[in-house]
Amino acid sequence: MLPDADIVIIGGGLAGLTAGIHLARHNLRVTLFEKQAYPHHKVCGEYISNEVLPYLRQLGVSVDGLNPARIQHFSLSTASGDTIESDLPLGGFAVSRYTLDNHLAQTAIKAGVTIIQDEVKRVFFEETANAFTIETASGKTYHSTITLGAYGKRSLLDKQLDRPFIRTESPWLGVKAHYKAEFPAGLVSLHNFHGGYCGLCQVENGLVNACYLATYDSFKTYKNIDAFQQQVLSQNPHLAHFFSNAELVFEKPLVISQISFAPKQPVDSHILMCGDTAGLIHPLCGNGMAMAIHSAKLVSERLIAYFNGRLNDRAALEKSYTLAWRSEFTKRLTAGRLLQSVLQHPLATSVMLKSLQLTPGLLPLIIKQTHGKPLAIEQCP
């Protein structure tokens, strides 16, 4: 039986769409499944390091046309409001997922990607056929030579695949909304509060994205998001000023729960995982979007090599991708976990901030630990 596609991508976020564009431009048959119609909002910090710009331009993705906010500066505050600032070594840009994902989807369709609005309920690899079978919520079945998992932080598919991280409940939840508010141009800021931290930055059209991560324990004693923001986030004077003067644009904030930062495998059940599906960096590092795009580059280059015969078999493909993913991201993820462990403790945060104030050159070096170098397409050997 001939497969319906060379590559099926499960999930149409940054990693899935970027990989789809890259692969389709090399004449591979790509089918992508996304359960939500475009455009749609997602819980996300919406800041992207400029490291991915050369790669996106090579793919024909026009970020400039989306009118993104250009980011050059970073500020960090403790829960009590003490602050330190730094220039960002590479700089970045900020654009809503509503706008960016929709643009990537339209670019993918023009490149030849078939996008199907349906939810994948089950996927399994058939050894005898050396191919995948994909079953969807609409009752349809598809077959592919390769399957990419790009379905985000957590999914019922993780349970079907019995991935280890899904067996343990995670204490984190994320909240995001857009606001009309005065906010310094060119700045992305991170503000600590008891039980979490909140990122602020302008996106397109002058709106401000506020996205925060909080422990469930710190949140559960409050009746709703408004009460939590007024009584917990607003203990930080910077957040108190922002939320007291900002006008909510969304009907209500978006919320996701069970965000896990536990280690994951970049290949599971022969599925090549990318983006948050392969591993999630702490939002405080502000580089998850760039990492998702970078992971799409890594997997796409190796898939092109596989279909061109430069990687001999599936085992070689999986080994090459696993090694590349770990080489690029293990250090960043470790740095992110370390930073989060510090920022969860007010005393440690205060000590770190005072140390950085005495040696301000250290902060750009710390930022570099969670960011990469400018990307360009390379041929995988």
Domain that holds residue 89: 5-169+259-369
Q: Is residue 154 situated within a structural domain? A: yes
Q: What is the pLDDT of residue 380?
A: 45
Q: What is the pLDDT of residue 82?
A: 87
Q: What is the pLDDT of residue 364?
A: 62
Listed in sequence order, the residues at least 6 apart from 175 whose beta carbon sits closer than 8 Å to its beta carbon are 43, 211, 212, 214, 225, 253, 254, 255
Q: Tell me how many domains the chain contains.
A: 1
Q: Is residue 223 situated within a structural domain? A: no
CA separation (Å) from 332 to 88, 123, 162, 176, 182?
16, 30, 26, 24, 32
Please, what sign has the CA dihedral across residues 124, 125, 127, 129?
A: positive
Q: What is the pLDDT of residue 377?
A: 66
Q: What angle do CA 157, 158, 162 make, to 5 degrees?
A: 115
Q: Is residue 299 situated within a structural domain? A: yes
Segments of the chain scoring below 70 in pLDDT:
1-2, 282-286, 337, 340, 342-344, 346, 349, 352-353, 356-358, 360-372, 377-381
Q: Is residue 377 situated within a structural domain? A: no
296: amino acid identity, one letter:
A
Q: Is residue 228 situated within a structural domain? A: no
Q: Is residue 117 situated within a structural domain? A: yes
Q: What is the pLDDT of residue 85?
A: 87
pTM to 2 decimal places:
0.91
What CATH number corresponds to the domain at position 114? 3.50.50.60
Q: What is the pLDDT of residue 314?
A: 97
Q: What is the pLDDT of residue 381?
A: 43
Q: Is residue 53 situated within a structural domain? A: yes
Q: Is residue 204 situated within a structural domain? A: no
What DSSP string describes 168-223? S---EEEEEEEEE----TTEEEEEEETTEEEEEEE-GGG-EEEEEEEEHHHHTTSS
Cα separation, 44 vs 176, whole angstroms? 7
Classify 165 as helix, strand or coil: helix
Q: 315: alpha, beta or left, given left = phi > 0 and alpha = psi -120 to 50?
A: alpha
Q: What is the pLDDT of residue 361?
A: 66
